[in-house]
């Protein structure tokens, strides 16, 4: 009996396609598995630390063109990046006509999104030629409405229909079109989103997201030396760890695949044999440790609001939140006591509006006192295994006490998926290390 293959969508990030050498690795990966039907490329990224991404060069050209400045130097750089790839791959393809058209459009003051999108567009043409796949311009299959909001349903239908008719195709990442045909991009790093959208439209079995790391790590490698990788993580856990995940995978790329129940496999182009991390809806598999991951960020402010008998005053919380809403400030966490509530907000966003928010709280909620503390770091300790493991919180706080770290705040949702801890900015790295060691190192 003939074996029925899987349907895989594969997205490659900018560093995986930064030059011909990387491009060849990508070609080998795709060709080594005939289930890899649809490929989504980013624009060429950095070849070395101080290099400039093609997307950034394109933004620069557009900026200069709008100011009637000469952008030929940057444009030549872009051209040579692509020509080097073409030459290195040994394919017979000329992008001269495309370059000329893009240059002309830029001179005629084409938009920022159009300019940026050309990075993926040109890379898509090269990739399709190199792999002998069909090129499908994302502008013809990904749609935004006239308000600029992504139109997921129309896209899903048109894209699904189109790709049903092709066996192997390249669809450039990062952009689509508005109803009048103008190009519109997602936010930076948005090729991840395109990959997820394609996966949903064709009901893929797996969405492989190829990058330059072998998946998620239990903790930040800048803080923990050689941290353990995460083999499986649920969508929910990843959301709770969003401080960590953002640099590996665009947050918005979760929604389309999650909706369709498609697992995501983060893989490393430079180490394709590594299993990478799986992101799944749900799993019966225990994580290796009680915790799945630890992530955090410095730079939060705590606004402590006190009022006697707060607990019986109906609507008090709403009034306080209204003061933040009116000033367009979102909050991260909101632990509370019987007569107190505290809001944790990003210090950078809060500081310029500090006094406006305080006076609004006074006006709306009439509290007894308000106190602000800043320089706080938040740490999320996340794990689906916490629910069934006794003493997790105890172990965390014993480890922090042992490391002489003062805990400023504790917040645990009733889902028992995470514990949020607030510490001083200065204690941040020590706290992460103490928690990591107690759960991971000790068991080795």
Numbered residues of the known binding site for ATP:
11-14, 211-212, 222
Q: How far apart are CA 95 and CA 151, in angstroms?
A: 31
Q: How far apart are CA 409 and CA 407, in angstroms?
A: 6
Q: How far apart are CA 242 and CA 254, in angstroms?
A: 11
Of 57 and 434, nearer to ligand ASP (C-beta) is: 57
User: Tokens for 55?
Assistant: 């997307």
Q: Name residues contacting ligand ASP, limited to 49-68 (CB under 6 A).
A: 53, 55
190 class by beta-carbon count within 10 Å (0-12 exposed, 13-18 middle, 19+ buried): buried
Compute the least distance from the CB of residue 222 to ligand ASP, in Å.
22
Name which of 262, 127, 249, 270 is nearest 191 in CA terms: 249
Q: By CB under 6 A, which span of 64-72, 188-196, 294-302, 358-366 interacts with ligand ASP?
A: 188-196
Residue 43 sits in the site that holds ligand ASP (CB under 6 A): yes
* Buried/exposed 111-137: b ≥16 CB within 10 Å, e otherwise: bebbbbbbbbbbbbbbbbbbbebbbbb
Compute the least distance from the CB of residue 123 to ligand ASP, in Å.
9
Sheet holding 232-234, edge to edge: 134-135, 169-170, 36-41, 8-12, 206-211, 264-268, 277-280, 232-234
Lay out the site mask for ligand ASP across 112-151 (x = CB under 6 A, - = otherwise).
Answer: -------x--------------------------------
Instruction: Kindly determine how many residues on this chain lie close enough to bind ligand ASP according to the rule CB under 6 A.
Output: 13
Of 208 and 427, nearer to ligand ASP (C-beta) is: 208
Q: By CB under 6 A, which span of 75-83, 186-194, 222-230, 405-413 interacts with ligand ASP?
A: 186-194
Of 116 and 399, nearer to ligand ASP (C-beta) is: 116
The only residue of 23, 81, 118, 173 in contact with ligand ASP, by rule CB under 6 A: 173
Q: Detail the residues annotated as belonging to a binding site.
A: 11-14, 55, 120, 211-212, 222
Of 11 and 37, nearer to ligand ASP (C-beta) is: 11
Residue 174 sits in the site that holds ligand ASP (CB under 6 A): yes
Of 46 and 319, nearer to ligand ASP (C-beta) is: 46
Q: How far apart are CA 201 and CA 208, in angstroms?
A: 15
* Buried/exposed 382-416: b ≥16 CB within 10 Å, e otherwise: bbbbbeeeeebeebbbebbeeeebebbbebbeeeb
Q: Detail the residues annotated as belonging to a binding site for substrate.
A: 55, 120
The only residue of 188, 286, 363, 387 in contact with ligand ASP, by rule CB under 6 A: 188
Of 192 and 411, nearer to ligand ASP (C-beta) is: 192
Q: How far apart are CA 53 and CA 257, in angstroms?
A: 27
Does residue 248 sit in helix, strand or coil?
coil
Residue 39 sits in the site that holds ligand ASP (CB under 6 A): no
Does residue 340 sit in helix, strand or coil?
strand
Compute the least distance from the CB of residue 5 to ligand ASP, in Å.
27
The only residue of 189, 195, 245, 276 in contact with ligand ASP, by rule CB under 6 A: 189
First to last CA, the chain: 45
Residue 42 sits in the site that holds ligand ASP (CB under 6 A): yes
Q: Name residues contacting ligand ASP, limited to 7-26 (CB under 6 A).
A: 14
User: Tokens for 332?
Assistant: 């991260």
Of 113 and 192, nearer to ligand ASP (C-beta) is: 192
Residue 155 sits in the site that holds ligand ASP (CB under 6 A): no
Of 74 and 192, nearer to ligand ASP (C-beta) is: 192
| Residue-by-residue DSSP string for 109-129 | T--HHHHHHHHHHHHHHHHHH
242 class by beta-carbon count within 10 Å (0-12 exposed, 13-18 middle, 19+ buried): middle
Compute the least distance from the CB of residue 188 to ligand ASP, in Å.
4
Compute the least distance from the CB of residue 346 to ligand ASP, in Å.
22
Q: How far apart are CA 430 and CA 399, in angstroms?
A: 10
How many CB atoms are closer than 10 A to CB 48?
A: 7
Residue 296 sits in the site that holds ligand ASP (CB under 6 A): no
Residue 44 sits in the site that holds ligand ASP (CB under 6 A): no
* Residues engaged in binding ligand ASP (CB under 6 A): 14, 42-43, 53, 55, 119, 173-174, 188-192
């Amino acid at each position: 009996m003939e074996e029925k293959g899987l349907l895989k969508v594969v997205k490659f990030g900018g560093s995986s396609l930064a030059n011909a050498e990387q491009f060849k690795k990508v070609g080998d990966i795709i060709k080594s598995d005939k289930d890899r039907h649809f490929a989504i490329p980013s624009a060429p990224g950095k070849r070395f630390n101080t290099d400039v991404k093609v997307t950034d060069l394109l933004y620069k050209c557009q900026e200069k063109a709008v100011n009637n400045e000469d952008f030929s130097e940057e444009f030549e750089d872009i051209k040579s990046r692509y020509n080097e790839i073409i030459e290195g791959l040994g394919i017979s393809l000329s992008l001269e006509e495309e370059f000329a058209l893009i240059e002309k459009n830029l001179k005629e003051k084409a938009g920022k999104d159009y300019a940026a999108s050309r990075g993926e567009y040109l890379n898509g043409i090269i990739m399709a030629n190199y792999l002998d796949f069909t090129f499908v311009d994302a502008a013809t299959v990904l749609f935004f409405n006239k308000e600029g909001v992504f139109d997921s349903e129309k896209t899903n239908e048109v894209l699904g229909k189109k790709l049903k008719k092709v066996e192997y195709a390249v669809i450039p990442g990062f952009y689509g079109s508005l109803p009048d045909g103008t190009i519109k991009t997602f936010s930076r790093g948005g090729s991840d989103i395109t990959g997820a959208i394609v996966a949903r439209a064709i009901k893929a079995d797996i969405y492989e997201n190829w990058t330059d790391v072998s998946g998620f790590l239990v903790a930040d490698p800048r803080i923990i030396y050689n941290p353990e990788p995460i083999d499986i993580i649920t969508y929910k856990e990843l959301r709770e760890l969003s401080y960590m995940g953002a640099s590996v995978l665009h947050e918005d790329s979760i929604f389309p695949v999650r909706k369709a129940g498609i697992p995501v496999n983060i893989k490393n182009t430079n180490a394709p044999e590594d299993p990478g991390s799986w992101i799944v809806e749900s799993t019966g598999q225990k994580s290796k440790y009680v915790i799945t991951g630890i992530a955090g960020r410095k730079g939060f402010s705590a606004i402590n609001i006190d009022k006697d008998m707060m607990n019986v005053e109906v609507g008090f919380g709403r009034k306080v939140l209204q003061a933040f809403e009116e000033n367009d400030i979102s909050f991260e966490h909101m632990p509370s006591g019987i007569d107190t509530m505290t809001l944790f907000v990003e210090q950078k966003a809060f500081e310029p509006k500090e006094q406006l928010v305080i006076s609004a709280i006074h006006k709306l909620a009439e509290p007894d006192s308000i106190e602000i503390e800043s320089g706080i770091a938040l740490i999320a300790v996340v794990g689906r295994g916490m629910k069934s493991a006794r003493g997790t919180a105890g172990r965390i706080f014993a480890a922090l006490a042992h490391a002489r770290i003062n805990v400023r705040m504790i917040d645990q949702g009733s889902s028992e998926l995470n514990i949020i801890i607030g510490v001083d900015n200065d204690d941040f790295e020590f706290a992460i290390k103490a928690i990591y060691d107690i759960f991971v190192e000790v068991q080795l």
